[in-house]
Amino acid sequence: MTGRTRWWVAGATILVLVLGARAGWPQRSAEEAIFPIAEYKAQDSRVLAQAYLGELQALYQSVRRCTPEMDFHQHGLGFRRPFGADGLLPHLATWVWIPSEPASPGDDIGARATEAFRRYAPRLLPQLVAREVIRADARVGGYGLVLTWVKPPGGDPPIGETLVVFLPKSAVTPFVSGTGTFTELLAQARIRAFDGQTEVRLTGLAIPDREVPLRPPPC
């Protein structure tokens, strides 16, 4: 991809200007997907990345096997903090490209972000929680999902829309086990959204409690 974008450890804006759609491109390798240890700025995140490199590699393989329609963003897998939350512990987080039809083109970014989370959070969060040694580590505060898709109806160059959700372990664990609802999960979420490089305000991700999460099949 040209115009490589980055996401930083803490205190920076996520910039997503898509200069090349991922559709049809070869899947990124583990080396491309996992954030390099040498590039971490925060010591605690770097220590976690060193300790759990094997777990990150296993998580990469799990996502490749269980959700092959997704692709990792460049250096999109690692330990992060939510923007502006320096006091929080690092979170195990992943930034992925998802198929570019999370909602109909006539909807706004809020509708597309809601549909993206409804579809893909139940498929990705169990894979993050399944890294049991990371889940048990008190130095890890929770999980982060960053979902990017190409903004409809496309353009030249195409623009990416991005949803960023960070969640504490206490919210994710019951959701993954089937005892928690979307409402309970999102009540504890830190949420941001971007239209290209511009942050946009969301009123929230309203997913009815009657909505049954689309659990992934065993893989």
Bridge partners, residue 79, by sequence = 92
Of the candidates 155, 175, 168, 109, the one whose C-alpha atom is nearest the C-alpha of residue 17 is 155
CB 131 within 8 A of CB 58: yes
* Contacts of 16 by beta carbon, 8 Å cutoff, 6+ apart: 5, 148, 160, 161, 162, 194, 196, 197
CA distance 209 to 8: 34
Q: Which domain does 46 fall in, by range?
A: 30-200
Flag whether 19 is in a domain.
no
pTM above 0.75, yes or no: yes
Instruction: Establish how many alpha carbons lie within 13 A of residue 208's alpha carbon, considering only the half-sphere containing its beta carbon.
Output: 3
Flag whether 208 is in a domain.
no
Task: Give the DSSP H or E segment for 125.
Answer: helix 109-129
Task: Give pLDDT, residue 4.
Answer: 36
CA distance 27 to 68: 9
CA distance 192 to 87: 18
pLDDT in tens, 44-97: 999 999 999 999 999 999 999 999 999 999 999 999 998 877 789 999 999 999
**Average pLDDT, 10 consecutive residues per value, the chain (219 residues):** 34 39 69 96 96 98 93 96 85 93 68 92 95 97 95 78 96 92 93 92 80 59
Q: What DSSP string runs through 132-192?
A: HHHHT-TT--EEEEEEEEEPTT--SS--EEEEEEEEEHHHHHHHHHTSS-HHHHHHT-EEE
Flag whether 24 is in a domain.
no
Q: Based on the structure, what is the number of domains in the chain? A: 1
Flag whether 2 is in a domain.
no
Flag whether 13 is in a domain.
no
Flag whether 4 is in a domain.
no
